[in-house]
Chains A and B, each alone.
Chain A
Amino acid sequence: MSLRNVGIVYRKELTEALRDRRTLISTIIVPLFLFPVLSVGFGALAVSLVGKAKEEVPKVMLRGGNDSPAVVEGLKKLDKIQIVPDTADWKDQIINKEIRAAVEIPAGFQSDVAEQKSDTVKVYNYEGEMKSEFATEKVETYMKEYRDRVVKDRLAAKNLPETVLRPFEVTRENVAPPEKVSGAAFGGIIGYMVILLCMTGAMYPAMDLTAGEKERGTMETILSSPISRMHLVLGKFFLILTAALSTAALSVLSMGLSFNVLGHYTGQAGKGGSEAAALVLKLGPKTVLSVFLMALPVAVLFSAVLMTIALFAKTYKEAQSYLTPMTFVVIIPAIAAMLPGVELTPKLSLIPILNVSLLCKELVAGTYHWNYIAIIFASTSVYAAAALFIAIKMFQRESVLFRS
């Protein structure tokens, strides 16, 4: 094998790729800006939206309560909600978001409480709607505090300590370090993004260097030169791989930087204290490097598979229609890895893409299962080598190169 010839083809393809706007966008611009936009941009947007929702004074409709003035007064005095009078269409008003919730005080509630009879206060809301949930939370908090006061008074009247009703407390405490907590929360999405970007980085050059070359009429030109088809396909393959790896490297780098910036920002903001800091992903150089290393065989696999498929197409457009469904083939296992409870097993570590996604999740959480890392690296390398072998074979088939 002549590395010189492979190098000549590679250098020429690289020169062309660096002069092509579409390749530069998919390989450099998208991975460099996607993570900052997603993490910092969307993070800031989410924080601001939630903050605004919390600041809003929600309208809560009071139903009943005419014979329970103390409770009603208490609710009206809450500066966090605005009590509105009862109307018949209260349900519609909640659904149409005109009011955020409704609280129903049963008849004789106050006297029932005094006589130690049990009653139920109902809070109606729009489940899943953020502002309605906030309003419900506020009403519930008030009613629970009211109930606690009643209980406290009753116990005091009978000279009993509060521990009669609460003999012990149950608390939970996290022992996992913050990077593992954040890794478990964000690890899945990191693997997913890296894999997806690795593929999109390879996709454009794969089409351009095969179907694009056929369409522009340069395939016949290059085939008339003395270079062997194997050297030609390897030169092209290495360029596609470079694009995939650049995309992966830039995305991992940009991801690491943007999460660090986000961590710094939330740390300074101080709101939410340690809880907020724990939820921000911490990516050290070791994690970034290991995620990138695991992306390596995946990039080889994608480059070879995409090149082989695109080679069948006669035109760039046709190649696009073949490769677009491939995105789903990649997204499905990558999403499956994000599902809660899906963890690495010996069988799953043999399924391409899914295995690397799952492993990325572990790596981001700072867990290194060396046996799985070895299996996944080896199996993905085998798949990648097989795909490359097929690509070389396809390049030697006239029916593929000159399909009409």
Chain B
Amino acid sequence: MIEARGLSKRFQDKKRGEIRAVDNVSFTCQPGKIYGLLGANGAGKTTTLRMLATILEPTDGTATICGHDVVEQPEKVRANVGFLSTATALYRRLTAQEFVEYFGRLNGLDEATLKKRVDDIFNRLDMNGFRDRRCDKLSTGMMQKTSIARTLVHDPPVMIFDEPTNGLDIMTARTITSFIRECRNNGKTVIFSTHIMSEVEKLCDTIGIIQSGKLLAEGTLAQLRDQHREQDLEEIFIKVVTPHYTAAEAN
């Protein structure tokens, strides 16, 4: 389970002064559910997810993941999290298997468990054809599968996906979306960020709309449709975001 409470992140910028990348964001993600963080570029999605993954430290507020505080116990949090984004690249000079094994070891798996887990994942994701191939020789689809294998190797209860399909072709993107569904079906807590409406509609149990670092609306798709009297998610999004977007642009 993920619980964010007043999560905030401020940066200092030489030209623009203080920037509130994430401003007092609170939400809860339940096991076996997918929480979708929907926002435009620069809305604060990546920063929020990076704070949950303890890659960045919150300036104010905090979050707990499986009961572990992101500020107090970052290493325990990361042991319970699988983090995937288009920015999480592979080590080019390692083979797909070495890469996955490396992260398994960093997650504290012993060699026997690691071997079993790697064999299992490679079979499940149909990766045996390229397990000994170096990552710099893999196709985009193979790379994505290898990244997925990395996030799964320690079987974490929480999965964080930061715009995981960004820039991918339709077939590779499909591999990712099916994987996200599979995670939910396996009872994992899933949060993922995107700006693609169709993905949110297809996948998410709960949707949070974020703009200028603020969580502006939250609910199931049905609830959002009810609240904003619109059927189309894109229209709902525009209705929610526009006043803040214009204010932010004006600033």
Interface residues of A (CB under 8 A from B): 5, 8-9, 12, 15-16, 19-20, 216-218, 220-221, 223-228, 398, 402
Asked if A225 contacts B106 (CB within 8 A), the reply is: yes
Asked if A16 contacts B91 (CB within 8 A), the reply is: yes
Q: Does B241 count as interface, using CB distance less than 8 angstroms?
A: no
Residue from A20, A217, A221 in contact with B150 in the complex, judged by beta carbons closer than 8 Å: A221
Given contacts A220-B87, A228-B75, 16 further A-B contacts (CB under 8 A): A8-B102, A12-B91, A12-B94, A12-B102, A15-B94, A16-B94, A218-B88, A220-B50, A220-B89, A221-B150, A224-B83, A224-B88, A225-B78, A227-B75, A227-B106, A398-B56
| Shortest Cβ-Cβ A-B pairs, 7 listed | A217-B89, A224-B83, A226-B78, A226-B79, A221-B88, A16-B93, A19-B93
Asked if A221 contacts B107 (CB within 8 A), the reply is: no
Residue numbers in A under 8 Å from B97 (CB-CB): none
Residue numbers in A under 8 Å from B76 (CB-CB): 226
* Interface residue count on the B side (C-beta < 8 Å): 29
Residue numbers in B under 8 Å from A227 (CB-CB): 75, 106
CA distance A15 to B92 in the complex (A): 11
Q: Mark B70-87, 1 if CB is under 8 A from A, else 0.
A: 000001101101010101
Residue from A5, A15, A220, A402 in contact with B98 in the complex, judged by beta carbons closer than 8 Å: A15
Main secondary structure of the interface of A (DSSP, over half): helix
Residue from B50, B56, B92, B106 in contact with A226 in the complex, judged by beta carbons closer than 8 Å: B106
Q: Can you spell out 25 A-B residue pairs with CB atoms less than 8 angstroms apart? A: A8-B106, A12-B91, A16-B93, A19-B93, A216-B89, A217-B88, A218-B89, A218-B90, A221-B88, A221-B89, A221-B90, A221-B91, A221-B150, A224-B83, A224-B88, A225-B103, A225-B106, A225-B107, A226-B75, A226-B78, A226-B106, A226-B107, A227-B75, A398-B57, A402-B56
Q: Does B243 count as interface, using CB distance less than 8 angstroms?
A: no
Asked if B105 contacts A220 (CB within 8 A), the reply is: no
Q: Does B55 count as interface, using CB distance less than 8 angstroms?
A: yes
B58 to chain A, nearest CB (A): 11
CA distance A402 to B92 in the complex (A): 21
Residue numbers in B under 8 Å from A223 (CB-CB): 55
Interface residues of B (CB under 8 A from A): 50, 53, 55-57, 75-76, 78-79, 81, 83, 85, 87-94, 98, 102-103, 105-108, 134, 150
CA distance A5 to B102 in the complex (A): 10
- Say whether, besides A223-B55, A224-B81, A226-B78, A218 and B91 are in contact (CB < 8 Å): yes
Counting chain B CB atoms within 10 Å of each CB, the highest count among A8, A15, A226, A402 belongs to A226
CA distance A354 to B48 in the complex (A): 49
Residue numbers in A under 8 Å from B91 (CB-CB): 12, 16, 218, 221
Counting chain A CB atoms within 10 Å of each CB, the highest count among B79, B94, B102, B107 belongs to B102
Residue numbers in B under 8 Å from A218 (CB-CB): 88-91
A35 to chain B, nearest CB (A): 29
Q: Which single residue of chain A is at the shortest CB-CB distance from B151?
A: A224
Counting chain B CB atoms within 10 Å of each CB, the highest count among A5, A15, A224, A398 belongs to A224
Asked if B87 contacts A217 (CB within 8 A), the reply is: yes
CA distance A220 to B84 in the complex (A): 10
A312 to chain B, nearest CB (A): 16
Residue numbers in A under 8 Å from B103 (CB-CB): 225
Residue numbers in A under 8 Å from B105 (CB-CB): 8
- Say whether, besides A12-B91, A12-B94, A228-B75, A220 and B102 are in contact (CB < 8 Å): no
A403 to chain B, nearest CB (A): 11
Residue numbers in A under 8 Å from B106 (CB-CB): 5, 8-9, 225-227
Residue from B79, B85, B93 in contact with A20 in the complex, judged by beta carbons closer than 8 Å: B93
CA distance A15 to B50 in the complex (A): 29
A243 to chain B, nearest CB (A): 15
Residue numbers in B under 8 Å from A398 (CB-CB): 56-57
CA distance A213 to B89 in the complex (A): 9
CA distance A8 to B104 in the complex (A): 10
Residue numbers in A under 8 Å from B53 (CB-CB): 224
Residue numbers in B under 8 Å from A216 (CB-CB): 89, 92
Counting chain A CB atoms within 10 Å of each CB, the highest count among B83, B98, B106, B107 belongs to B106
CA distance A241 to B38 in the complex (A): 45
